[in-house]
Structure 1
Amino acid sequence: MEKKRKSGALRMPYLYDRYIHFATIVLVFFGLVMITSASMGLAAGNTISLVNVVAKQIIFSIVGYIAMLMVAKVFTFQRLRDNISLIVIATFVFLLLALAFPSVGGAKAWIRIPMPGGEVTIQPSEFAKISIMLVMAAYLCDLKMKKPTNWELIKTPAILIGSFVLIVAILQSDFGSAVVMLAIAIIIFLIPQHPQLTKYQKIVFLLIVAGIVGVVFLISPIGINFVEHLPLAEYQKSRILSAVNPFVDKYGAGYQLVNGLVSFASGGFFGVGFGNSVRKYTNFPAANTDFILAIVVEELGFLGFMVIFVCYGLIIMRLFKYAFKMKSEKGRVILIGTAMYILIHFIFNVGGVTGLIPLTGVPLLMISYGGSSTMAAMVAIGVSQAVISRYRQGDFE
């Protein structure tokens, strides 16, 4: 534990991790630049449409940055204990509110707010990922007293987090977000060291191994026939089959993936030049959202990808560095939860657009167009910065 300075006048901003702060700013700025470029094709010469897209992302980025700074300043474990019920209620309300709005792509995952010149959409499931980390930290970490039964210990977080995931997966039909939420919950569940959790943690670990083996099996040539018999929607089966071989249906289910692979091949090491993507002017779905990485690599090449990779890597490594140093389980859950939130999105997005895993519709955080994902990622980083700041200040070990 780092000792407090005698002056007592140490200002909080100097206790934040500057590397995380800098990498976040670089990612958001890089994302704004690439969203502008990728949206040119979607705008189809409509300057007003392009300006509208870019302006929305700039506003969301500014709001996200302010929220990140505010959360980093005010978040404490005491406030978490006092307000966890409010956080849970708000999460339920907004997840259910999204069901009242029209579906997009088969999913009822967005709240639509009419605004002059268009509308603003909010995706509550992005913020529910943060709620999952906070629920786990509030109910399962740093427990000193034994509970009457094992079920009493895990009942509340299991019911709350399970409900969040089921609402998103079943009622909202947003399977990609539900998988990310479940993955975050499962991984950080392994962190608390309470003796009565050991049995459940062993079961969860085995489920993780089984899940990885299952995914590898499904995307292997052996698993293709098995996919046809799974109780999934046709578009979900098509995504799995396209990951195995997108060229089987290159003008149908595999069209998006094939175009993404062509963009990767065109980019090479240095790219064709910023703004010079050809693919974005074709009928390339989600060029500025889920598949923005294809445009990044086409225009800026492998070097453009490395900007993203290095910034993500820096944030994740710094979060793990502090998580391993501190004894506080709440702190470790929040830091590792944020790191896994970023890492899982990265793996799912990059794996999906390169055909290594089935497409999940998961955005590349702070790079893809989308206000909810950008703000949620920055808020999560703000919570982590608050934990780091107070650890460095000596508020806990």
Structure 2
Amino acid sequence: MRKLKYLDYFIAVPYLILSLFGIVMVYSASADIGSQNGGSPVSYLIKQAIYVVMGLVIVAFMLSLNINKLRNRSVLRLAGWLAFGALFLLIAMGQTINGAAGWFHLGPISIQPAEFVKFYVIIWLANAIDHRQDELQVENWWVPMWRPVLICCIIVILIFVQPDMGGAAINAAIILVMCLASGFNYRRAIVYFSGLFLFIVGIVFPIAVKFTESGHVHNYKLLRLVAFINPFDHAQTVGQQLVNSYYALSNGGIFGVGWGNSIQKTGYLPEPNTDFIMAIVAEELGLVTALILIALLFTIIMRIVLVGIRSHSAYQSLVCYGSATYLTIQTLFNLGGVLGMLPITGVTFPFISYGGSSTWTLALVMGVVLNISARQNRERQA
């Protein structure tokens, strides 16, 4: 591949390190789960290794692809029909896991369409904004953009009603950042989101707490929201994850108890290989290792932003900004849930957590960003 000599190692190397480390940690976090379920301790290890290898194939394909093919009207239309069709089908017949009907069973694997929709939103909205670039003005921004924004809002609502609050919030953040980058008045955005925040804090939280305490609410997602306020009051039910995450972080300290020696993964902490894998990393390998992983991820994000800033193409810049937002918000939501700073939303940690849909979506994003960076490097050398 000719583009390999223009590869951006500030993105590719951290991505490879994080993905390989993820395989190791998935094995450590899931060995007990596999045994308890009557299977093999290495079952999740094998699956995650396959996901990562397939992800590398996806990265190689996206790197070699002519990026303009992603802007082909037929390709975007087909991807859009698949995205909307999958989201509608999920509401009707999706498999429910952890209170959200967000998965399709395809043989031995489960597909989560909301993950792939993040990539679709990035490339579709970047293309829609770029085509309207000459019409966009701060004063009348809504005139050319109302239809793309409406379609994006429908996507977010379809994900939210699964209900997948984390996925909906990540897609909403991607849309917001890309719109702001296109010239949307940031003052209006601040007003809109301040109003939404005050509504949630001032009305939704108090009502949820009152109805839950009186026993009238049994919705899993709503109970998670309530458990966030005081997890120790719900330590045997919906607060179990957060309480045991605290225990894992406390056990690990600065340098950890040693790889494979986690106590919380042995039946105390639900989902130790997915949503709460960073709690296991911190328990086994300590705060220092967790910070190194976060630094590697931060390196990727900053490099993607830099690639977007350097690009002379509005489309390529917007793709980079959307991709960086995706990684940033997903990381913050996951760490916020693990640390008890945000409600648990079921969001995985990029590159480390177990899961095929997440791994492949991240591979699509990494491949496109590496493609854009390689084009820049080639133009610079030319």
Does TM, scored on the shorter chain, surpass 0.5?
Answer: yes
- Contact 2:125-2:148 within 8 A present in 1 as well: yes
Do residues 137 (structure 1) and 126 (structure 2) align?
yes
- Contact 1:15-1:389 within 8 A present in 2 as well: yes
- SS in structure 2 opposite 1:281? coil
Do residues 275 (structure 1) and 260 (structure 2) align?
yes
**Which residue pairs with 1:285 in the alignment?**
270
Per-residue displacement from partner, 1:209-256 (whole Å, max 9, x unpaired)?
4455667x46xxx99635436998643333233222211222222111
Alignment of 1:141-220 (within 5 A): 141=130, 143-146=132-135, 151-170=142-161, 172-193=162-183, 197-198=184-185, 201-211=186-196, 217=201
Give me the CA root mean square deviation.
2.7
Do residues 22 (structure 1) and 7 (structure 2) align?
no
CA distance 1:213–1:270, shift in 2 (3 Å): farther
Alignment of 1:32-181 (within 5 A): 32-44=23-35, 48-77=39-68, 79-82=70-73, 83-98=75-90, 99-114=92-107, 119-141=108-130, 143-146=132-135, 151-170=142-161, 172-181=162-171
How far did 1:77 drift? 3.2
For residues 66 and 19 of structure 1, the distance between their equivalents in structure 2, rounded to whole angstroms, comes to 19
**Which residue pairs with 1:330 in the alignment?**
315
CA distance 1:229–1:331, shift in 2 (3 Å): farther
For residues 36 and 99 of structure 2, the distance between their equivalents in structure 1, rounded to whole angstroms, comes to 29
- Contact 2:32-2:41 within 8 A present in 1 as well: no
- Contact 2:156-2:172 within 8 A present in 1 as well: yes
- Contact 1:72-1:383 within 8 A present in 2 as well: yes
Runs of 5+ consecutive residues of structure 2 not aligned to the other structure: none
**Which residue pairs with 2:206 in the alignment?**
225
How far did 1:355 drift? 0.6
For residues 141 and 211 of structure 2, the distance between their equivalents in structure 1, rounded to whole angstroms, comes to 34
Per-residue displacement from partner, 1:343-370 (whole Å, max 9, x unpaired)?
1111001101111111111011111111
- Contact 1:142-1:328 within 8 A present in 2 as well: no
**Which residue pairs with 1:294 in the alignment?**
279
Runs of 5+ consecutive residues of structure 1 not aligned to the other structure: 1-9
**Which residue pairs with 1:363 in the alignment?**
348
- Contact 2:257-2:286 within 8 A present in 1 as well: yes
- Contact 2:164-2:345 within 8 A present in 1 as well: no
152-161 or 13-22, larger mean C-alpha shift: 152-161
- Contact 1:32-1:58 within 8 A present in 2 as well: yes
For residues 145 and 374 of structure 1, the distance between their equivalents in structure 2, rounded to whole angstroms, comes to 36
Per-residue displacement from partner, 1:251-305 (whole Å, max 9, x unpaired)?
2221111101000000001100000011111232111110111111110001220
- Paired residues in the alignment total 372
- Contact 2:99-2:220 within 8 A present in 1 as well: no
For residues 193 and 40 of structure 2, the distance between their equivalents in structure 1, rounded to whole angstroms, comes to 44
The one-letter amino acid of 1:126's match is E
- Contact 2:209-2:226 within 8 A present in 1 as well: no
300-309 or 90-99, larger mean C-alpha shift: 90-99
The one-letter amino acid of 1:179's match is A
CA distance 1:272–1:150, shift in 2 (3 Å): closer
How far did 1:69 drift? 1.4
**Which residue pairs with 1:253 in the alignment?**
238
Per-residue displacement from partner, 1:311-363 (whole Å, max 9, x unpaired)?
11110111111222223221121111111111111100110111111111101
The one-letter amino acid of 2:243's match is V
Aligned residue among 366, 370, 373 for 1:385: 370
TM-score, scaled relative to structure 1: 0.86
**Which residue pairs with 1:242 in the alignment?**
227
CA distance 1:147–1:238, shift in 2 (3 Å): closer
The one-letter amino acid of 1:112's match is H
Identity between Structure 1 and Structure 2 (%): 28
- Contact 1:44-1:281 within 8 A present in 2 as well: no
How far did 1:106 drift? 2.7
- Contact 1:95-1:125 within 8 A present in 2 as well: yes
Per-residue displacement from partner, 1:37-65 (whole Å, max 9, x unpaired)?
00022123668433222211111111111
- Contact 1:272-1:299 within 8 A present in 2 as well: yes
Per-residue displacement from partner, 1:145-165 (whole Å, max 9, x unpaired)?
438975551133123212211
- Contact 1:266-1:298 within 8 A present in 2 as well: yes
- Contact 1:324-1:332 within 8 A present in 2 as well: yes
For residues 60 and 159 of structure 1, the distance between their equivalents in structure 2, rounded to whole angstroms, comes to 34
